[in-house]
Amino acid sequence: VVSSNAEANVRRVLGPSADRISLFACGVGLFGKARRFRQVMARLKVAPRETLCIGDEQRDIEAAQAVGAGCGAVLWGYATAEALAVAGPDMTFASVGDIAGLVQSASGSGPT
């Protein structure tokens, strides 16, 4: 998880699901996400083409695009759907279930 929010807040929101996250890079400056995305991808040894960054603001989409990663926008967060569309995400998610469905289909596993 790369977030401008504090790790404690991210963990609180995620609840028990936070245990599934292998790396938290929190407290990122509002305009430092591209650099942090690069650092996290390098640390996890994943290429940008293997990465999907999901955010709720235009700058999240722009940061993902700047590093060559895929980008998704959630429609329940900070920015409006219209503002996010202008940023040009690769996909949009109307619910957390949409993200879970994508992950399950990509991994070939059933519901957990």
pLDDT at 109: 58
Q: Which strand (E) or helix (H) includes residue 53?
A: strand 52-55
Helices 58-67 and 33-44: crossing angle in degrees, nearest 10, is: 50
pLDDT at 56: 94
pLDDT at 112: 43
d(CA 28, CA 2): 7
Query: C-alpha 18: how far from its chain's center?
Result: 14
Q: pTM, whole model, 2 decimals?
A: 0.87
pLDDT, tens digit (0-9, with 9 covering 90-100), for 52-109:
999 999 999 999 999 999 999 999 988 999 999 999 999 999 998 999 889 888 877 5
Residue 69, Cβ density class (10 Å: 0-12 exposed, 13-18 middle, ≥19 buried): buried
